[in-house]
Structure formats: C-alpha cells, structure tokens
Structure 1
Amino acid sequence: MGKTIIERLAEFSAKADIARLPANVIEECKRDILDSIGCALAGMEHPKGRIGIEAGRRLGGTGGSATIIGTGDKSTPHGAAFANGEMINALDADSVLLPGHVSPYVLPGAFASAEVHQRSGSDLIAAVAVSHEISCRLGAAMSGYRDTKDGTAAHTSVVGYSSTVFGATASAAKLKGLAVDRLANALGIAAATAPVNSQRAWFMHTPTATIKYQMAGALTNAALSAADMGDLGHRGDLQMLDDEEFGYPRFIGTARWSPELLTTGLGEEWRFPAFQMFKPYPHCRVMHAPLDILIDLVAQHNIRVEEIEGITSYGEGWAYELPCFTNHEITELHDAQFCFAHGLAVAAHRIPPGRQWQDPSVVFDPSVMTLMHRVKLETHPTYFQSISADITSRPSRVEIRARGQTFAAEKHFPKGTPSADPQTYMTTEELVCKFRTFVDGLLPVATIDKVLDSVLHLEQVDDFGKLMRLLARQQEK
C-alpha cells in the first residue's frame, strides 16, 4: 500500500529546507512576513485587534515566552498566536492566496513556535513556504467562492478557509522539530478538529459577524493543539484526505475534490508565488481593481467630491449581489471593510490608503456616508468568462458622473497581483512603503528600520525571537 496524502504532505513538510527553496519562494515568504507584521501592528487599535489581544491574554496569560505583537506582553504560543492572528486580519489589509486569506491563519503559530524554540530566520522561511504551498494546493483542490460553471457563478453551499489548518499545523510542527511520523499524526488530528467552513452564512447575513469568514485566532489554536498532540504521541487518522466517502472532503463539505492537485510535483513545483496577492487598501480584495481605477480617475481629472453625481462600479458578479457586500448599514468599523460603496466613497475623498481608512472619523464621516449612497454596483459583462480562463483575473470598470460628463476606465488585474502586466505586481519597495505607512507612529523610526532590515534579510537572522522582541512594545518616537 502506498503512502497516504497526509503522509506525503508530512514528508514534504519535514524535508523542506531553505537550501532547496527557489529564490522566488524565499522572497515571497519574506514579503508576506513583512506585510503581515505591518498589518498586525496597524490593526492593534481596531476593535477586532483590541479584542483579539485581550482574548489572547485570557487564553494564554501574560507570563509565557511568545510575543503578542505591539504590546509588552508575552504569552503562551496559543495566546500569542490567537492575538496575532486577529490583529493581522483586523483591517482586512493582509495578503490573499488560495483559498482566500492564508497569512492570519498560518503565520501566527509559526511565529510563536519559531520564537519559543529559538529557530532561525531560515527555519521560519522553510516553514512558511510549507504552510503557503499546502494551503494553496488545498485551495485549488476544493470548492471556492469564485468557482464558475457554464459561464456563470457556481454557488456551493459550503466554502471557507478551514483547510488552512493543514498548512498551519505543518509549519508549527516543523518548527517544533517533529519527526515525519509524528508530523503526519498531527496533520491527521488537524483534519479531525478543523473548524467548520461557515463562510457562506457570513456572505448571506447582515450585520456581518466580526469573526468574518473564519476566526483567525481560533484556527491558529486548532493547528497548535494538533501539533502539540502529535508531538505527545496522539494518533491521527492518516486516511483523512484519501477517503472521499467518510473523510475530510465529505465532512468539511466541499463539492469539488481534486486530490491530485495536492501531491503532483509536491516538493519540486512551488505554486503559491504565482497566486500570492498583496493588498494596497484595507478593504475587501473584490474591490481593489475598482479602487485602483477610481483613484486614478479622480487624480487624473481632478474630480472633487462635491462634483460627483454618481459612481457605477462594474465588477465581480459572484459578490456584487451578496448581502455582506451590498449592505449600507455601517454600524461598526469592520462593516466598512466589506461595504463596496463605502470603500469607493472613501477613495473618492483622496484619503491615502492606510489604517486611517478605518478610523471612526473617516468611516462615519457624513460626506463619505452621503457619497456611499450614490454608488451603484453592476456585474462586469465579461467577468465570468474572464475568471473561467484565469482565476486571478478581476475585470472591472468604473464610471464617475461629474461636471455633466462621464469619466471611465477599465482594468483586469488589481495592483498587487502577479500577472502578465508588470505594473500590477507589488514590488518589495512598494511593500516597504506600505509597511512604513501602516506602522507610522506605532514604532520609533529606528525600530521600523531594524524590522525592515531583519525581515528583508531574514535568512541571516540566527534567532527569530530577536525580531519578535523588536515588535514587543510600543514606544514613543
């Protein structure tokens, strides 16, 4: 009998080493680590971030050895990972990778494990590569919210990011030093204890739940618990990913299961760098192409807010009718992250993208709220054909009616997307600029410079805990 899928994933995870990683994989890991740290720091004062920090403290106390980013607190790995996951995702400015968001689920456990076990930056990079590759492959193998069939949306009743528990468990277990057999058991345990995929309910109900599509903190803890139990000798079910009748594909609820995508070329072909996207704006990725267009039109034609009679955005058909995105009742800060009309209204006010986009003074600004009600959403006429051909495509068009005329433009790939157009790629220099903008005033300039240097040269860091200690406490400039 051949090895199960879980056993092959465990073997891949244990063997991954920075010496064998392609340069672009190493680079993407460092870029995502940097971006996620910036998002965490920027999300500290957001209600989701503040609550995440307090929940992490309650869960793990404040006498541990893992850093809660941006605070003076050390907690257990479970406590720190819970808090850091919630902070990374607080502003919804974190990166996007199949099956959707990955970083807030897989990085916090890796950060805590690397710090507690005094792993090097090279060790962390290898673990992050594993977590991202496994997550990307599972996302491609399962039902997704952007699936199409016969030229239209293929709505499935169950979608979500629960499958990131495998990548999160693999990276934490690798950094704990688990042997292949125990790592495989940890993955089997993760499969049996993975959170449910509740994202479809989040799409359909308003007001939207603050946990969003999947609570990051909770999933980090499921993964860390699985790694701990595997380490202690618990047996996991190694057949979970092979058994389509009773195993993970059945009980997690995916309507599509392509297991060959999990193992074909595993360890030789790294797929995640081609799909990893970064977000210039703290807003749902669905609206990033329209935001790019609107910002360019407003600047190019010097359009003032008071001149705007109306805005029509043509974009992602699967999302433009869902209650979570079309709801105009902004009662909490996080509502603004997903109200498409509100995001366009904020951008029209020429407010530089950053954590200020979700400051109460901006979110509830009467001028923003008024303009929000002048925004209309329509499905782009070629949307479904475009994503059927290329899942990273997001064809969009924006029309601004002002001064008695219509200003319009189109694009297919938002900024931050690897594509045939080099202009859509978010360079490392641009990510550094985003980082500086997001953390401005939260750390001293000298500390920001040290963090940037450490992450961009992470393979030279002998103890990742040194970097986490730089992020341990807010200080005055």
Structure 2
Amino acid sequence: MNRLSDSTVGLLARYVCSLKSSDIPGKTKKHAGMCVLDTLAAAVAGLHAPSVVAAREASMTLFGNGEIPLWFDGRRTTTAGAIFANSSAAAVLDMDDGHSEARGHPAAAVVPAVLNLAVEIGASADDVLSAIAIGYEVGIRIKAARGDHGQKGWNGQSGVWTGFCVAAATGWLLKASQDQIANSIALAAVYSPNLVATSYTKELGADVKEGIPLSAVVGYSSMILARLGHAGFTDTLDHPPFYDAALILRGLGEEEMKINGNYFKPYATCRHFHAALSALETMMADHNINASDITAIKVHIYDYALRLSNKTRPENLTDIQYSIPYCMAIVAILGADPLMPIDDSLLGRPELVALAEKVEIIPDPEYSAKYPRIALNRVEVVTAGETYSSPTMRPPCDPDAPMSMEQLERKFRTASREVLHARQQEDLLHAFTCLLNGEIAPLLETIAKPARIDA
C-alpha cells in the first residue's frame, strides 16, 4: 500500500494529474478568463497603494532580478518575486473575487502565480485557463472542509488555503508527477502562514490581507521543493477536526468545477455588506432621497459582521473597506462609483463622518443562523418624514445572478481609470479577448508595460 497515493493529498493529486485541458469545459475556461480580467482590474487599481509599492520594492530585494514582469511596472524579477508583488496588488483594495463555500479569495493568489509561471515556461492560453480552474478546484475543496479545531477564527482566513490552490495549479502546468503534486499540497499545509493573530486581533485586513501574497509564494515554492524531492506529511488532510477528508473528495471530478461558483465584486469593500450597499443605492434612486434629509440608516445583518472594524472615522483605506457605516455614507452622499475603487479622497471628510455616525448596525438572529451559507442584509433609511425599508437581500453578483462580461469590462474600465489611459485600457481589453480566443502573448506583453497617465 502506497501511503501517499491513498491519502487525501494523493487522491487530489491523482485527480489533478488525470486532467487534460480538453477535459475542462469551454464554459469553465471562459469563466477562468473572467477571473483573469477581474484580477487585473484589482491589480491596476491597487498599483500605487503604499503597501503594494513596498511589496514591489521588497520583491526585488528578497527575490532578485529575473525575467518575470512586475505588472504595469516595467521591471522584472523572479517568478516567486513577481507572484508576491502582483498578488499584493490584486489583494490590497478588496476588489478581488471570492468564493462563499471557501469564505475567501482565490484569484489574488492563483491568477498571478499561473500568469507569471506561464511567462517562464511559455504556457498556452488554454493551459493557463485550465490551470486556474484546477487551482480553484483543489484549494476551495480543502478550505471548505477545514474545521476550526476549537480555535475561534482559525477557519475563516484566506492566507493558508490559497497556497493549496497555487500548488495544484502550478503543479499541473509543470506536468509534475502525482507524488510531486501530493507533496506540494502537503508542504503548503505546513509552510503557509498560519495566521494565528487573526484568531484574536480586533482588526481585519491591514496590509497583510490575510496572508494571501506570501501564501501564493509558498504554494509555488512548495511545488518547486516537491519536484526536487522535498516531502510533506502524507496524512496532512486526514485528521478531523482539522479537515473533513470525505468532504474534500465528495463529487471530485463529477460535479461542476468550483470556479463556476465564485463571485466578482461590484464594490471594492468587504463583501459582508454588499447587499446593504446595493439596497441603499436602489432606495436612494427609487425614492429620490436626499442624503441631507437622512436622520438614520439601520443595517440589519448577521452578527459576524460586527467583527469588522466599522469605524466612522477611518484613518486609512483598509479602515474604509471594513466599515459598514462609512461605506453606507459614501453611497448615500456620493453614489457607488467612489467605491470602485476607494482612494484617499474619501478620508477625513466631515460630511461622510457625520452621516456614518447615524448608521446603526443591527444583528439579526435569522440572518446569523443562515450565515455563512447565505449572506443576508436589510436596510432602513429614516428621514424626518418617512422610513424606507428594503427587502431582505443577498449580495449582488453572486453565483445565482453572476456579473456579466459587459459588467466585468465596465468594472475594469472604472477601476483602472486613474492608472491607465484610455488607449492602455483598450489594449488590455483587446488582449483579454485574444486570451479567450486562444492567444496569450498579447496579454502577457500588455501587463508587462508600465502604466501611465498621458499629460
């Protein structure tokens, strides 16, 4: 009996090795392509954030010079360095996609890893899209089956599990063996940041963004180590209450691939209150409500959302991303466009602070009981003369009503408007179309060029 082959990591690796690009439906590859565009939109928008500038500089110091581009920068580093820097840009503004089943954000790790490795090995468009779908499949299954083993908050973070996505995706691209892919998954389980602080800190987000950038590097590094003979713990996924192995494997290869169940964000904020933002946006328009007439806004939501910082006087962009009151004030006074993406112009504005302090967050027991299976919000807007109430709502652009290609292209244009000039935007969208049509070179060339705004 081969312990590695018969373990959960071994069975996952067998599945990965068995897949050919032709086995993955065209619909799934197209969706993987949409994940690429959404990730690039997030990375462009986050390009000049101080933590991302720091990550690019650090990548050159930590990983050295190489041939792999730092997106929209013009410089090049190693594959690992580019994964770290480009993942940092994709994650920083909370614009990146997510998956409710895994309660986290796969694209900010998987897409940079796959695109950067594609430059190194000359992978085809078809293989790139397939590898992204495979990375989602493995990582989401593992994360969805992860228990909390008695440590509050241990199961809720993205950092650890995105390394699994990258190990599987890059292993498939590199045509690694079953044992090598199994060991890379096992190594990622140990080497990825364990994020113990997220079990007790009162802050969410910050520059670490749940460890996604470094976890992406770890997933890739684990694959390289495994190819060179480094071994992990064979049984790493076979111990409840840490992981439910049966759940990881349930329906593997038989169900629609997990990537088809992700979501793209219409607002560059924490998704917990996207339904509330959408409800407020609709009510303001439908009832012609003037922000100056609002005396209170009541957000009914599940109790997990009380863990967000929810500052009414945010000090930085991360504070805004995780503040229900401040984001509701932005939508009420300025509309939704400033949330795609947020920027420093939103900080320190007295009118936003004044309205944010009129926002009440009310935990709803029914909504709390249904979370995380369903994320429900309801909003009441109170004026001197009337109270307006929304129905109970789910977040917009969830898998049941996904963002369309046209909406995604509009998101890209809106998110990148302050970083790319119009010609660069159109060049990238053209290159994206080429990717969907089987040609990857234009996209890789476009994202390697430095971004600039014409004077």
The answer to whether the aligner puts 1:335 opposite 2:319 as a matched pair is yes
Quick one: structure 1 residues 199 and 263, their matched pair in 2 at CA, closer, same or farther if it must change by over 3 Å? farther
Does the 8 A contact of 1:133 with 1:270 survive in 2? no
* Stretch deviating more after TM superposition (442-451 or 361-370): 442-451
2:225 corresponds to: 229
Q: 1:128 — aligned with what?
A: 132
Note if 1:16 corresponds to 2:11. no
Of 75-84 and 215-224, the range deviating more from structure 2: 215-224
Match of 1:69 in 2: 71
SS of 1:382's equivalent in the other structure is helix
Q: 426, 435, 438: which one pairs with 1:449?
A: 426
The whole-number CA distance in structure 2 between the counterparts of 1:188 and 1:155 is: 21
Aligned-pair RMSD on alpha carbons?
2.4
Deviations 1:128-148 (A, max 9, x none): 011111122112211379xxx
**Whole-angstrom distance in 1 between the partners of 2:151 and 2:397:** 26
Per-residue CA deviations over 1:325-349 (Å, capped at 9, x if unaligned) read: 3344522221111011111111112
| Distance in 2 of aligned mates of 1:385 and 1:271 | 27
Q: CA distance change for structure 1 residues 364 and 469 in 2, over 3 Å: closer, same or farther?
A: farther
**Where does the alignment leave 5 or more consecutive residues of structure 1 unmatched?**
146-153, 250-254
Instruction: Work out whether residues 302 and 365 of structure 2, in 8 Å CA contact, stay in contact via their aligned partners in 1.
Output: no
Change (3 A) 1:155 1:302: farther
Identity of aligned residues (%): 25
Pair 72,319 (structure 1): closer, same or farther in 2 beyond 3 Å: same
AA aligned to 1:81 is I
Label 1:410 to 1:355 Cα distance change in 2 as closer, same or farther (>3 A). closer
Q: Given the alignment of the two structures, is residue 349 of structure 1 paired with residue 329 of structure 2, yes or no?
A: no
Cα drift, residue 281 of structure 1: 0.4
Q: How many corresponding residue pairs?
A: 446
Match of 1:210 among 190, 197, 207: 207
**Worse-matched range after superposition: 71-80 or 184-193:** 184-193
Matched with 2:35 is 32
Residue 311 (structure 1) aligned with residue 297 (structure 2): yes
Measured against aligned partners, the alpha-carbon deviations of 1:419-454 in whole angstroms (never above 9, x if no partner) come to 2xxxx4211111111011111242343332332233
Q: Which residue matches 1:297?
A: 283
1:201 corresponds in structure 2 to: 199
Q: Deviation at 1:354?
A: 5.1
**Residue of structure 1 in register with 2:352 after alignment:** 368
Give the letter for the 2:88 counterpart. E
Aligned-residue offset at 1:29: 0.8
Aligned to 2:392: 411
User: Which of 400, 408, 411 lines up with 1:431 in the alignment?
Assistant: 408
Kindly provide the amino acid, as one letter, of the partner of residue 332 in structure 1: N
Query: The residue matched to 2:14 in structure 1 has which SS?
Result: helix
Q: 1:445 to 1:294 in 2, by over 3 A?
A: same
Aligned to 2:383: 402
Distance 2:329 2:194 in 1: 34
Alpha-carbon separation, structure 2, partners of 1:414 and 1:433? 19
Q: State the AA in 2 paired with 1:170.
A: A
Q: How does 1:217-256 map to 2 (within 5 A)?
A: 217-242=213-238, 244=239, 255=241
- Check if 1:278 corresponds to 2:264: yes
Q: Distance in 1 between matches of 2:204 and 2:168?
A: 35
Q: Verify the 8 A CA contact 1:158 1:200 in the aligned structure 2.
A: yes
Aligned equivalent of 2:91: 89
Question: Against the structure 1 CA distance between its residues 107 and 354, is the aligned structure 2 distance closer, same or farther, given a 3 Å change threshold?
Answer: farther
- Secondary structure of the corresponding residue to residue 309 of structure 2: helix
> Comparing 290-299 with 444-453, which one deviates more in the overlay?
444-453
**Post-superposition offset of 1:415:** 0.9
Of residues 357-366 and 303-312 in structure 1, the stretch that sits farther from structure 2 once superposed is: 357-366
Q: 1:114 to 1:257 in 2, by over 3 A?
A: same
Matches within 5 A, 1:86-165: 86-97=88-99, 98-143=102-147, 156-159=152-155, 160-161=157-158, 162-165=160-163
Tell me if the contact between 1:120 and 1:459 (Cα under 8 Å) persists in the aligned partners: no
Structure 1 contact 58–79 (Cα < 8 Å) conserved: no
Q: d(CA) in 2 for partners of 1:96 and 1:13?
A: 22
Moved over 6 A (4+): none
1:150 maps to none
Partner of 1:148: none
Q: Distance in 2 between matches of 1:208 and 1:476?
A: 29
- 1:158 match: secondary structure: coil
* Contact 2:279 2:393 (C-alpha < 8 Å) held by counterparts: no
Q: Distance in 1 between matches of 2:228 and 2:42?
A: 34
TM-score normalized with structure 1 length:
0.87
For 1:83 and 1:89, the matched residues in 2 are separated by 10
The answer to whether the 8 A contact 1:56-1:83 is kept is: yes
Instruction: Return the offset for 1:357.
Output: 4.9
Shift of 1:465: 5.0
Equivalent position SS for 1:64: strand
